[in-house]
Amino acid sequence: MSVTLKDVAALAGVSPSTASRACKDNPSISRETKEKVRRAIEQLGYEPSFQSAGSEAPENKTIGIILPPSPKESFENAFHLEVIRGVSQFCNQHHYMNTVITGQDENEILRVLSDFVKSGQVDGFIVTYSKQEDPVIDYLYNEGLLYVVIGKAYRFANQTVYVDNDNVLAAQEATEHLINLGHKNIAYLGSDSNLMFSADRKSGYQLALLNNSMAVDPENIIELPFIPEEHSAAVHSLLSREERPTAILVSDDIFAVALERACIEMGISIPDDLSIISFNNSLFARLTSPPLTSIDINSVQLGIEAASQVINHIENPNLLATKIIVPHRLIERHSCIRL
């Protein structure tokens, strides 16, 4: 197993980020600490990458935008496109370049990251998603690389710069909107809780029910690992129940489109038979029939804030790990009805 910068940091008794700055001969690191890191490097036989080696940086600084591993879904999801637009907008204004990094799976992304790091072509990274037990995050952290996460950090939270929405609050407010419309049987449809945003949105939905003395029915909660392209047995079963929900909170506009399609196939009218609130306020929400009431999470602003943070930390390496919360708002359209 190859030696990482985390191993060097552990032997030297410093954090990976301190070890990384020591390798770059950053003036903020004391001579004593630099010497401890140098001795640890020699003892372990660690070979610093271009980014860590203190060589002269390329004239054009570049930000790597890491998308989730997926054969195609990352590029079909409007959220990631909006985030990229925000990152590019801010980078252009501050004379930084950016490049998109993704792959079929995590191993492919790790290979690409390793190549970029060895060549010194990228100065910092923006990870556009957050999930539990992510080897990509582990690699970035263990190598002492600068990265910003869009979403709540699952591991290394105190050392991680991240930009997020308050997804618990957003889902709570969306569910309470349905409750205020008179709905008492409300379901939740979301992606896998391994994704931090989805776990938080489910928690907000449950919290709203409990705060309004309403029971949380496990059969009303459906989590799918991917967007169903065809008939979903779980969705069909939910919509076929004798006491079918009168409203559903959906964690993503694309899932809501799939839900609308299932309703059409089953002869269920929206909003007369079923009210829907979704998340992201993407083009999908505006083009469906009826248009979806949706939570606007300001995807472009998430990208702008992430780019601002990574550039700020590139140019000011002693900054603490910042946590930024971008506000959300409920956009009312025609997919909800008062009972």
| pLDDT tens, residue by residue, 215-237 | 999 999 999 987 766 668 899 99
| Domain boundaries for CATH 3.40.50.2300 within the chain | 57-165+301-329, 167-296
Are 299 and 178 in contact, with CB atoms under 8 Å apart?
A: no
Output the six-digit token pair for 195. Answer: 């994704």
pLDDT of res. 49: 60
Q: Can you give the pLDDT at residue 71?
A: 67
Closest CA to 126 of 326, 328, 305: 305
% of the chain beyond a pLDDT of 90: 67
Q: Is 269 exposed, middle or buried (0-12, 13-18, 19+ CB in 10 A)?
A: exposed
Looking at domain 167-296, its CATH class is alpha beta
In Å, what is the CA distance from 111 to each residue of 46, 50, 140? 19, 16, 12
Place of tokens 């637009």: 85
Residue 52 pLDDT > 70 = no
144: confidence class by pLDDT, cuts 50, 70, 90? confident
Domain 1-56 grouped into CATH 1.10.260.40: yes
What stretch(es) of the chain map to CATH 1.10.260.40? Answer: 1-56
Element (H, E) at 125: strand 124-127
Report pLDDT for 75: 65
Identity of residue 208: A
Reply yes or no on whether the pLDDT at 109 is more than 90.
yes
Q: How far apart are CA 233 and CA 30, in angstroms?
A: 61
Burial class (CB in 10 A: 0-12, 13-18, 19+), 291: middle
Evaluate if residue 76 carries a pLDDT over 90.
no
Q: What is the average per-residue pLDDT within 182-189? A: 98
Pick the CATH number of 57-165+301-329 from 3.40.50.2300, 3.30.420.10, 3.40.50.300, 3.40.1360.10: 3.40.50.2300
Residue 225: asked if its preceding bond is cis (omega within 30°), the reply is no
For the entire predicted model, the pTM comes to 0.84
Phi-psi region of 120 (alpha: psi -120 to 50; beta: other; left: phi over 0): left
Q: What is the pLDDT of residue 55?
A: 44
Cβ atoms 129, 306 nearer than 8 A? no
Q: Confidence band (pLDDT; 50, 70, 90) for 47? A: confident
pLDDT of amino acid 70: 82
In whole angstroms, give the CA distance from residue 1 to residue 157: 26
- Among residues 283, 223, 212, the alpha carbon closest in space to that of 251 is found at 223
To the nearest 10 degrees (0 to 180), the angle between helices 5-12 and 135-142 is 50
